[in-house]
Structure formats: C-alpha cells, structure tokens
Chains A and B, each alone.
Chain A
Amino acid sequence: KNEVEQSPQNLTAQEGEFITINCSYSVGISALHWLQQHPGGGIVSLFMLSSGKKKHGRLIATINIQEKHSSLHITASHPRDSAVYICAVSGSGTYKYIFGTGTRLKVLA
C-alpha cells in the first residue's frame, strides 16, 4: 500500500460540474501540497496545507489531520482545468515529499 493514495485515478466531468479529488496518507506529516501537472510535464503548486482549509479562486483545499485525509475541490469546472492533480506530503521530521500517483481530470466542454 502506497503511503499516499489518491482517488479517483481518472475523472471525466462536464463543464460547470463541481469536482472533488481525494488524498489519504498513512504517515505523520508536517505539510501537504496539492499540485497541478499539465501535459508536457510542468508542475505548479496550488496549495500547501498543514491544517484547515484554503481557497484560491475556484479551487478549495481542505485537510483533516486526525483522519489523514485531504480533498481538493474545483467549483464551476472548465476545460482548462484538465490536468493531472497530485497530492504530496512532507513527512514529520523530514523535508522529503512523498507523492501520490495523481488524478487525471478531463473536463469536457
């Protein structure tokens, strides 16, 4: 079992739909990142969380430390949101990040 698990692995949505991507982890963490990767490889950091909830535009990220779970929500999804969304955690006592395998999102017009 991977230390960071994401679900679903693949997701297809219609434009305008509300999208949720989940991340569960099994290690103690000091921080959790949500990242976006577009075809061609570039990775962009969306959020860094250690507790609670953050919002940026149409994106919302939440984390529940007790349940070792985080969610990334996209409201009013758009085709330009199509990308791979990756969850990464930094374990307690280390600055090494462990990545999930990603959720491939496709938003249809």
Chain B
Amino acid sequence: DTGVSQDPRHKITKRGQNVTFRCDPISEHNRLYWYRQTLGQGPEFLTYFQNEAQLEKSRLLSDRFSAERPKGSFSTLEIQRTEQGDSAMYLCASSSGHSNSPLHFGNGTRLTVT
C-alpha cells in the first residue's frame, strides 16, 4: 500500500492552456474524491466517484472542469482553458466505502496559472 499518489506535484501553465492531473487511489478503495484548496482556506469539494460512477459534482465546477475514473481505479481531472482563478492546490482523497473508513489524501497537485 503506497497511499494515494498524485501527479504532477506542481504544474505551471499559461492562461488558456489545458491541464490534466492524475490520481491513483489506494488500490482497494472504491471511493475517490477531488478537492480544491486555496491559501488559508479548507478544501472545497469538487466531485466524487464510487467505482467508475461520478456520483456528485459541485456547482463550483464549471464546464471547463471534467473528471473521469474510467476503470474504477485511477482518476483524471482536466481543466480546459485555464484561468488565473484556477490556481490552487488540487487534492485527491480515497476511502474504502465502509461506514467508518477514514479518508486518505494524496499530497496534491499545485497549479499555477500565469
């Protein structure tokens, strides 16, 4: 068990470019979450998956954001036509789905849009 891993750790991109982040959850975890965190704030919910099904998506997520978990294992989060306001830490977390299972977080992908 290597924990939740996210790639890349850091991404710097120019406004208008597309970016894609990857999250590999703990292997037996069927729930996967994406959160966004800006400086001094707690994480904000973006979306979550149970296996390959995207069960909930935040109204914060504009049409420029899309997430997939095609085989119920790793997940990708894509941001199209990035804006400076998208600069944040993007966090992935997973859990096993049992009623008392804790969340396990990755170290996040820090996005800077210039």
Contact = CB atoms under 8 A, between A and B. Distances in A.
A41 B106 CA distance: 9
Contacts of B89: 41
Interface stretch (A13-21, A58-66, A90-98): A90-98
B16 interface: no
A31 B43 contact: no
Given A96-B56, A101-B42, A45 B103 contact: yes
A86 interface: yes
B107 A41 contact: yes
B45 A96 contact: yes
A64 to B, nearest CB: 19
Interface residues of A, number: 24
Contacts, number: 64
B44 interface: yes
Contacts of B33: 96-97
B107 to A, nearest CB: 5
A43 B91 contact: yes
A4 B45 CA distance: 13
Contacts of B40: 101
A50 interface: yes
B111 to A, nearest CB: 12
Interface of B: 31, 33, 35, 37, 40-45, 48, 50, 55-56, 89, 91, 93, 95, 97, 99-105, 107-108, 110
* Interchain residue pairs A-B with the least CB separation, the first 7: A99-B42, A43-B105, A45-B102, A41-B108, A101-B42, A99-B43, A48-B102
16 contacts: A31-B100, A33-B102, A35-B103, A35-B105, A41-B89, A41-B110, A45-B102, A48-B101, A48-B103, A88-B42, A95-B31, A95-B95, A99-B43, A99-B44, A101-B42, A102-B42
